[in-house]
């Protein structure tokens, strides 16, 4: 199967990544090669096999539902590229 | 002083042959002199290291300090470090200074170990050559035109160049074991969940596991003892306290059954590597172990299974990098969609973008069953191969990599050829099993790694086996040529 330009553009939209015009052919060639590699999985009979989502088949640790972490609002906001009045800033989304 | 192993440093500090300050200064000087050549560090934290060394010396003088107190190490730049930039090898996090320490970092700080800085890596741990780093490729001390492997190539090269005795690393499909093999160092990826992932930048959460990389098995045991253990902040971390992994190193390996998978010696394996692995296995026979041929029939499916699952998980995990809360943000976004797309498009490298796109593809409507669910089913078959094998054998051994270190740029044009570097390491990752690489010889002057795959939580036995091998061989002591200091 061949991954065409439209598929790449759809994937880029799903993944929210801009793909430059100069690299689009390379990306499409790579996806073709990858789908060929991943297609090898179809040769294996997996009828009745339970999907394995995780290597651990034990119960996850749970902790009591009590507040344990201090409020690090200032420290966490300090890593953001743009903030104001204790909030993350993004371009206007509502007119 | 840079020739000292971790065990020798621990003894030297205890016997007051030298202070933590002295060895820390010595290694920092060495890094300044040599690392412009290797590029194994992204950030060197000299001032902080000297302050830590001063407190460590105080603790040592008071007595009762933990064994790793005063020992200088470094952290792969995937582990968050308070007030020290944590880039994960990416332009995306070039300006990211975390407000907290990863659990692994905190454990070493708690013991009084010294951090010399943050080591170079493939961007977001995606790569097998360290060439995908935003900060430039790391050079393998074993050959100026050779890659050190990846993604923990900086940690491996720094240990091989004797810039430090050990470093933390992480492994998703082979990122500790493959660089260890290519640089003549000893590296261990523990059982999934043995070490907390809290504060370790996520790539593929069902596969990622931290681990130590050092000169020999004894040093790896010292580091693992600090790193392992339960952590309430990582709900996938196993609820088991750490243990002293150095205690069982001297046990006899007499009578142990070593499984040798026939699929790991098929076409694609460099014939000279096969010779070195067979020689290593003979050493184990001399030590009293028994070799048993086994089969892991789904071995060939490990690489495609991994690239579905790891890419799917990466596309999900890396969606957090959106130009809003941390990391890179594009200039003058026209709207929110433009902010997301350009921030990610401009700051992620090519390999990271490729994997996110593949991940988005296999998770998208219409393809989920054919790829993602299918890969999860094959993942169970791969794990079952090991479960069946461990009914007959105690450990499994084979090569870590199909070839020795390749040349810089050699596999850049063909990413899939690069992916096949991890053909022998990926299956253990998919199964959550511990894997280790131990130096076992040279081919054309380049190191070869013997891989030891253990049963779940059997790290102590693996370290015992590796240590016993290192008592009767000296491959792990072979040293790369040191380059002339940069002018």
In sequence order, the β-bridge partners of residue A72 are: none
Query: Is the predicted pLDDT of residue A48 greater than 80, yes or no?
Result: yes
> Quick one: average pLDDT of B29-50?
97
Question: A88 — contact with chain B (CB < 8 Å)?
Answer: yes
| HSE of B123, CA atoms in CB hemisphere, 13 A | 22
Q: What's the rounded Cα separation, in Å, for the pair B333 and B411?
A: 36
Query: Is the predicted pLDDT of residue A35 greater than 60, yes or no?
Result: yes
CB nearest to B325's CB, from A38, A63, A80: A80
Q: What is the pLDDT of residue B144?
A: 81
Query: Is the predicted pLDDT of residue B54 greater than 50, yes or no?
Result: yes
> Quick one: average pLDDT of B146-171?
98
Q: What is the pLDDT of residue B487?
A: 45
Closest CA to B77 of B120, B31, B106, B29: B120
Closest CA to B99 of A81, A67, A77, A85: A77
Give residues 43 to 82 of A whose Cβ lies within 8 Å of B. 44, 46, 49-56, 58, 60-63, 72, 75-76, 78-82
Query: Is B151 marked active-site?
Result: yes
pLDDT digits (tens, 9 = 90+) for B363-388: 998 999 999 999 999 999 999 999 99
Cα B26 to Cα B85, B131, B323, B471, distances in angstroms: 24, 29, 40, 28
- Asked if A37 lies within 8 A of B328 by C-beta distance, the reply is no
pLDDT digits (tens, 9 = 90+) for B192-239: 999 999 999 999 999 999 999 999 999 999 999 999 999 989 989 999
pTM: 0.97
The dihedral of CA B334, B340, B342, B346: what is its sign?
positive
SS3 (DSSP) at B190: coil
pLDDT digits (tens, 9 = 90+) for B95-126: 999 999 999 999 999 999 999 999 999 999 99
Query: Is B360 marked active-site?
Result: no
pLDDT digits (tens, 9 = 90+) for B232-272: 899 899 999 999 999 999 999 999 999 999 999 987 899 99
Query: Is the predicted pLDDT of residue B484 greater than 70, yes or no?
Result: no
- Asked if A15 lies within 8 A of B193 by C-beta distance, the reply is no
Q: What is the pLDDT of residue B266?
A: 87
Q: What is the pLDDT of residue B486?
A: 53
pLDDT digits (tens, 9 = 90+) for B297-343: 999 999 999 999 999 999 999 999 999 999 999 999 999 999 999 99
pLDDT digits (tens, 9 = 90+) for A77-95: 999 999 999 999 999 888 7
- Asked if B383 lies within 8 A of A52 by C-beta distance, the reply is yes
Quick check: B75 and B105 in contact, CB under 8 A? yes
Q: What is the pLDDT of residue B98?
A: 97
Query: Is the predicted pLDDT of residue A1 greater than 70, yes or no?
Result: no
């Amino acid at each position: 199967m061949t991954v065409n330009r439209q598929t790449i553009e759809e994937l880029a939209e799903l993944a929210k990544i801009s793909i430059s015009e100069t690299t689009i052919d390379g990306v499409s060639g790579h996806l073709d090669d990858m789908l060929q590699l991943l297609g090898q999985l179809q040769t294996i009979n997996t009828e009745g096999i339970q999907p394995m989502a995780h290597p651990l088949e034990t119960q996850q640790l749970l902790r009591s539902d009590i507040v344990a972490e201090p409020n690090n609002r200032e420290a966490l906001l300090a890593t953001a590229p743009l903030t104001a009045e204790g909030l993350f800033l993004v371009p206007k989304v509502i007119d | 002083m840079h020739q000292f192993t971790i065990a020798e440093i621990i003894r030297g500090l205890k016997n007051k042959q030298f202070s933590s300050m002295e060895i820390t200064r010595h290694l920092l000087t060495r890094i300044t002199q040599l690392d412009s050549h290797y590029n194994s560090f992204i950030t060197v934290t000299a001032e902080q290291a000297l302050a830590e060394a001063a407190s460590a010396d105080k603790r040592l003088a008071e007595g009762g300090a933990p064994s790793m107190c005063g020992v200088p190490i470094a952290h792969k730049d995937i582990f968050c470090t308070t007030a020290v930039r944590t880039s994960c090898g990416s332009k995306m996090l070039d300006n990211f200074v975390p407000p907290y320490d990863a659990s692994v970092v905190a454990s070493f700080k708690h013991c009084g170990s010294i951090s010399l800085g943050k080591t170079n890596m493939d961007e977001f741990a995606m790569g097998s050559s360290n060439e995908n780093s935003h900060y430039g490729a790391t050079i393998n001390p074993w050959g100026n035109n050779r890659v050190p492997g990846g993604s923990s190539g900086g940690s491996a090269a720094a240990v091989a160049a004797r810039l430090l005795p050990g470093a933390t690393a992480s492994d998703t499909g082979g990122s500790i074991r493959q660089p260890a093999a290519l640089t003549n160092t000893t590296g261990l990826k523990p059982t999934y969940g043995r070490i907390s992932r809290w504060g370790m930048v996520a790539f593929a959460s069902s596969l990622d596991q931290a681990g130590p990389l050092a000169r020999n098995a004894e040093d790896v045991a010292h580091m693992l003892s600090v790193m392992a253990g339960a952590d309430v902040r990582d709900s996938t971390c196993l609820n088991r306290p750490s243990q002293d992994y150095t205690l069982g190193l001297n046990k006899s390996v007499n009578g142990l059954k070593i499984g040798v998978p026939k699929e790991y010696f098929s076409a694609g394996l460099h014939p000279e590597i096969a010779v070195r692995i067979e020689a290593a296995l003979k050493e184990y026979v001399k030590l009293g172990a028994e070799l048993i041929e086994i089969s892991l029939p789904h071995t060939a499916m490990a690489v495609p299974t991994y690239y579905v699952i790891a890419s799917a998980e990466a596309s999900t995990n890396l969606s957090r990098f959106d130009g809003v809360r941390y990391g890179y943000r594009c200039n003058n976004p026209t709207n929110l969609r433009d902010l997301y797309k350009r921030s990610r498009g401009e700051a992620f490298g090519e390999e990271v973008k490729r994997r996110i796109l593949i991940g988005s593809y296999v998770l998208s409507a219409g393809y989920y069953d054919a790829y993602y669910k299918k890969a999860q089913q094959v993942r169970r078959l791969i794990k079952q191969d090991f479960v069946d094998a461990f009914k007959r054998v105690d450990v499994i051994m084979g090569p870590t990599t199909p070839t020795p270190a390749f040349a810089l740029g050699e596999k850049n044009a063909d990413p899939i050829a690069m992916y096949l570097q991890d053909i022998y390491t990926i299956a253990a990752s998919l199964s959550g099993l511990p894997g280790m690489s131990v130096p076992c010889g040279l081919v054309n002057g380049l190191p070869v790694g013997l891989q030891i795959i253990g049963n779940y939580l059997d790290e102590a036995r693996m370290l015992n086996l590796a240590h016993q091998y290192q008592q009767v061989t000296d491959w792990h002591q072979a040293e790369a040529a040191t380059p002339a200091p940069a002018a």
